[in-house]
Amino acid sequence: MDNVKLKYYLQHGYLSKKSGVVAILLPKLINTIAAKKTFGSLQTTTNTLYSNQNFSIDNYTGKNTIVENIKLILNQYNLDSLYAAIVHGSISTNEIVNYSDFDGIIIIDELNIKSVHELKLLRQLIIRTEMDMLKVDALQHHGWQIILKSEMMNYNDSNLPLLLMQKGKSLFNATTTLHFNINLNNQNYKIGFYNIKKSIVKKIASGEYNNNFYSFKNFISELLLIPALYYQALNDEPIFKKDSFVWIENNLENKYNSIFVDLSLLRATWTQVEVVESNERLANKLKLIQIVSTLFRTKLPSRYKEWFTPIRKEMLLNTLDEITNKIDLKN
């Protein structure tokens, strides 16, 4: 089983954007074809041990009804190949605000995928639970972050820091504690910053962040990651997003830090009562045909459209350049 192909199939239900477009009309057929193509010989991985991490997380015991339903679905399927499902972020720490979405990690034991049928059930489980994630935040721009169990033996911490998982809560199985033993590989913590910066600059140049409510929240979510990614690139270790805003306040001049002060205020006063959830769900299903899906996206309220002023745009670009220079000087 090609592990790259496996993750792509589980995330999308198809194996290429072209087949994804066809899947809108023939979802069951394309899903079956993709599942059969994905199911094959298991790809072995080479383990290179750099450092070892051992930790445990407890079961989710919160009272969020949507999370409880996702937990119920996960346990109803009870698949041997489902190794773990974890909620992290504000839901796991019970710090939910209007801006919160569902941050979830799902770990698949690919050695326990014994049939095409089980592979299709895994994809079905992911679809069902991701639809519930949209009830937490209809503008959510990501679903489960999928990790294969084999990747835990050669884990890329710069891509999805274990720090997030360690503060998470288990949603799968009745055990009170989930234990992990993970081997980290050699990390490059700078890549995350450079990738997000490239995405932000592209969105500013095209103006696509103003297309609709969904695009704007996606854009703001990327901006809110910058302090953590900056810290990560400078210090070769991860940091919680919340702590990164405190850190950056003490490590950037006021003229550069002011954009993050404004972002914190925007997040604290965020509201999305205008979102049409049914439209966002439909747009999510049609997302591969952007010209069509955009028609269903909720219009961006004027108070947000007016937030990213030319002054803030200049502040942001100057700050990104300053941060980039500091990271480059470290190399």
| Segment 288-303, tens digit of pLDDT | 777 888 899 999 999 9
pLDDT value at 264 more than 90:
yes
Mean pLDDT on 55-71 = 92
How many helices and strands (H and E) does the chain possess?
14, 6
What pLDDT, on the 0 to 100 scale, is given for residue 303?
92
- If 0-12 CB within 10 Å is exposed, 13-18 middle and 19+ buried, where does residue 314 land? exposed
Q: What amino acid is encoded at 297 in this protein? A: R
Give the confidence band of 311 by pLDDT, cuts at 50, 70, 90.
very high
Residue bearing the bigger pLDDT, 129 or 290: 129
What pLDDT, on the 0 to 100 scale, is given for residue 24?
81
- Please indicate, yes or no, whether the overall pTM of this predicted structure exceeds 0.95: no
What beta strand segments (E) does 125-172 contain? Answer: 145-148, 169-170
Mean pLDDT of the chain: 90
pLDDT value at 40 more than 80:
no
What pLDDT, on the 0 to 100 scale, is given for residue 175?
64
Q: How confident is the model over 71-117, as pLDDT tens digits?
A: 999 999 988 999 999 999 999 998 889 999 999 999 999 999 999 99
The residues, any chain, with a CB within 8 Å of residue 60's CB and separated by 6 or more, are 67, 71, 87, 92, 169, 170, 171
What pLDDT, on the 0 to 100 scale, is given for residue 174?
60
Q: Which structural domains are found in the chain, ordered by start?
A: 44-184 (3.30.460), 191-330 (no CATH)
Q: What amino acid is encoded at 293 in this protein? A: S
Give the HSE-up count for residue 141: Cα atoms under 13 Å, Cβ half-sphere: 14
Please choose, from the candidates 298, 266, 305, the residue with its C-alpha nearest in 3D space to the C-alpha of residue 97.
266
Give the confidence band of 176 by pLDDT, cuts at 50, 70, 90.
low
The residues, any chain, with a CB within 8 Å of residue 283's CB and separated by 6 or more, are 214, 293, 294, 295, 296, 297
Give the confidence band of 51 by pLDDT, cuts at 50, 70, 90.
low
Mean pLDDT on 118-123 = 94
pLDDT value at 1 more than 80:
no
Q: How confident is the model over 211-238, as pLDDT tens digits?
A: 999 999 999 999 999 999 999 999 999 9
pLDDT value at 49 more than 60:
no
